[in-house]
């Protein structure tokens, strides 16, 4: 099942597609954003019904419980009250946090540097820094919500985060010579 919404967003454009799959426990979301503003930050916000919860985020070689505030997370962040939880799976969008029961994911921050970009030998004031505003650039963001029972370990959030970041892609090919056994094959 798909749900699409799109509209003008300030001077730019915003579109979101929400997709549910039969047999897949997560809700996949794709947001397209065209920015037309300088010095802005775009974030996705998902209100939850969880009043007090624990924030856990995937870090290199494990997971860590975090206090309130925005921290980087590799493939997922989880917010859980011990009985129920929701994981936010991200694909290349590591900035996330929970504030007052609202999960937030940083999508885009449009900034510029007054001094110029760092280059060998120091700063170069002739370098154009307004490219950081990402004006009239189309950005596509993929993320997913995974509601679950229990904590992130019981819900296998790490596995779901890896599956989301490494989707199986179908590819049509010609017939290949050779033999594939019935066991451990895709037949």
Q: What is the pLDDT of residues 124-182, one digit of tens each?
A: 556 555 556 677 788 899 999 999 999 999 999 999 999 999 988 888 888 777 777 77
Separation in Å, CA 131 to CA 15, 32, 148: 23, 19, 41
How far, in Å, are 11, 26, 165 from residue 138 at the CA level? 13, 26, 21
Cα angle 166, 23, 16 (rounded to 5 degrees) comes to 65
Which pLDDT value is given to residue 67? 87
Is the Cβ–Cβ distance between 18 and 29 less than 8 Å?
yes
Average confidence score pLDDT of the chain: 84
What confidence tier does 120 reach under pLDDT thresholds 50, 70, 90? low
45 CB-near residues (< 8 Å, 6+ apart): 102, 103, 104
Which structure tokens are listed for 157? Answer: 């959030």
DSSP string, 25-47: -SEEEEEEEE---SSEEEEEEEE
Q: Which CATH class is domain 2-165?
A: mainly beta
- Dump pLDDT digits (tens) for 4-31: 998 887 778 889 999 999 999 999 999 9
Question: Has this prediction a pTM greater than 0.85?
Answer: no
Q: What is the pLDDT of residues 64-88, one digit of tens each?
A: 998 888 888 899 999 999 899 999 9
Phi/psi for 160 (5° steps) reads -60, -40
Q: Which two tokens stand for residue 2?
A: 């798909």
Considering Cα of 47, then 59, then 140, then 164, what sign does the dihedral take?
negative
* Boundaries of every domain in the chain: 2-165
Print burial letters for 47-75: b (CB count within 10 Å at least 16), e (below 16). ebebeebbbbbbeeeebeebeeebbebbb
């Amino acid at each position: 099942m798909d749900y699409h919404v799109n509209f003008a967003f300030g001077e730019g454009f915003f579109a979101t597609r929400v997709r549910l799959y039969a047999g897949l426990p997560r809700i996949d979301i794709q947001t397209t954003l065209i920015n037309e503003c300088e010095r802005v930050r775009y974030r996705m916000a998902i209100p939850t019904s969880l009043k007090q919860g624990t924030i856990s985020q995937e870090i290199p070689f494990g997971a860590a419980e975090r206090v309130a505030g925005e921290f980087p997370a590799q493939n997922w962040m989880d917010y859980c009250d011990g009985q129920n939880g929701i994981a936010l799976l991200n694909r290349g969008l590591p900035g996330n946090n929970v504030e007052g029961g609202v999960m937030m994911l940083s999508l885009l921050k449009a900034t510029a540097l007054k001094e110029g970009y760092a280059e060998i030998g120091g700063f170069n004031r002739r370098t154009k820094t307004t490219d950081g505003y990402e004006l009239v650039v189309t950005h596509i963001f993929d993320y997913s919500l995974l509601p679950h029972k229990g904590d992130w370990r019981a819900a296998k959030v790490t596995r779901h985060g890896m599956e989301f970041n490494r989707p199986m892609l179908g590819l049509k090919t010609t017939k290949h010579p050779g033999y594939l056994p019935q066991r451990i094959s895709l037949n």
